[in-house]
């Protein structure tokens, strides 16, 4: 556990790239159930279990590069393709006895709650990003989905391995609601999380296409905007559907998708009460 900010970006990267990344207990249980019926397991069903957990998703993508075949000429950018390349039986062999998130944070219940909320936010972002990519007829919807799920991986790692610092950030956000989260994170961690994220995905040698989708410097690219807007909406709506940043989010989403406010709101899959509230505002 890291209780004090590390001195520089490279120190954080060195630390995080040497750890054995834990995954959710629910993910391990899901994989074990499929392992027991391995003859009937397939890559699509297994990918569905993995993609419910951004930490397991990250482990699989990092594994692919570490075990890249000499003759492999194309990057594997999705979990289902990764499993097809690994093979069902080798996957079950190599992904067992994994460390568990809930054990990692058993002495830090508030950090575990913060982590689970961040994971839930990532799932919502991935869901919206996928829906919008389908509407846009994107060339590869799964890549968009994966990028949205992994977008806040640096924040997830902070909850896991620097829980005291992560809780300081959460408290600062509550006390300074008008201050940008990125600013508060940099003040407390000593490093901008977006820089840490990009440094980590390069260190793990994730596919260049996924790295591009995670990089806001390519914001002029509609695919990158698709990911970022889904992540922004998930983050802001987590504060409540009256968050001050939402009107700007909605306008940007309408512009991306070329649809009106009502069509956009109804695609979000919210309760009828919240839907009507947003349409009336």
Supply the pLDDT for residue 67.
Answer: 78
CA dist list (Å): 62 to 4, 27, 65, 110, 265: 27, 17, 6, 28, 36
Domains and CATH numbers, the chain: 19-101 (no CATH), 105-280 (1.10.3210.10)
CA dist list (Å): 160 to 42, 63, 116, 167: 31, 20, 10, 11
Q: What are phi and psi of 87, to 5 degrees?
A: 100, 145
CA dist list (Å): 137 to 145, 182, 223, 281: 13, 32, 11, 30
State both tokens at 175: 């006390």
Supply the pLDDT for residue 76.
Answer: 86
Instruction: Give the pTM.
Output: 0.94
State both tokens at 216: 């806001």
Supply the pLDDT for residue 232.
Answer: 97
Supply the pLDDT for residue 75.
Answer: 79
Query: Which segments in the chain show pLDDT lower than 50?
Result: none
Supply the pLDDT for residue 73.
Answer: 56
Q: What is d(CA 104, CA 240) in angstroms, rounded to the nearest whole number?
A: 30
């Amino acid at each position: 556990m890291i209780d004090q900010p590390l001195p520089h970006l490279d120190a954080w990267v060195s630390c995080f790239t040497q750890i054995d990344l834990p995954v959710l207990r629910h993910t391990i249980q899901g994989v074990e159930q499929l392992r027991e019926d391995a003859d009937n397991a397939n890559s699509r069903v297994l990918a569905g279990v993995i993609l419910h957990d951004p930490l397991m998703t990250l482990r699989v993508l990092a594994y692919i590069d570490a075990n890249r075949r000499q003759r492999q000429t194309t990057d594997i950018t999705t979990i289902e393709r990764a499993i097809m390349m690994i093979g069902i039986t080798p996957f079950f062999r190599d992904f067992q006895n994994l460390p568990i998130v809930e054990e990692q944070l058993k002495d830090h219940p508030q950090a575990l709650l913060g982590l689970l909320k961040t994971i839930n936010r990532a799932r919502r972002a991935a869901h919206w990003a996928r829906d919008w990519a389908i509407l846009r007829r994107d060339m590869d919807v799964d890549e968009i989905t994966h990028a949205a799920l992994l977008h806040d991986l640096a924040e997830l790692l902070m909850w896991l391995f620097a829980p005291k610092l992560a809780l300081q950030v959460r408290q600062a956000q509550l006390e300074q609601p008008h201050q940008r989260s990125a600013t508060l994170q940099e003040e407390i961690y000593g490093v901008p999380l977006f820089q840490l994220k990009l440094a980590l995905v390069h260190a793990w040698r994730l596919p260049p296409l996924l790295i591009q989708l995670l990089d806001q410097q390519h914001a002029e690219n509609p695919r990158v905007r698709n990911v970022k807007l889904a992540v922004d909406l998930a983050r802001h709506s987590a504060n409540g559907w009256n968050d001050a940043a939402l009107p700007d989010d909605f306008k940007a989403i309408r512009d991306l998708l070329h649809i009106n406010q009502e069509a956009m709101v109804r695609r979000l899959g919210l309760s009828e009460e919240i839907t009507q509230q947003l349409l009336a505002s």
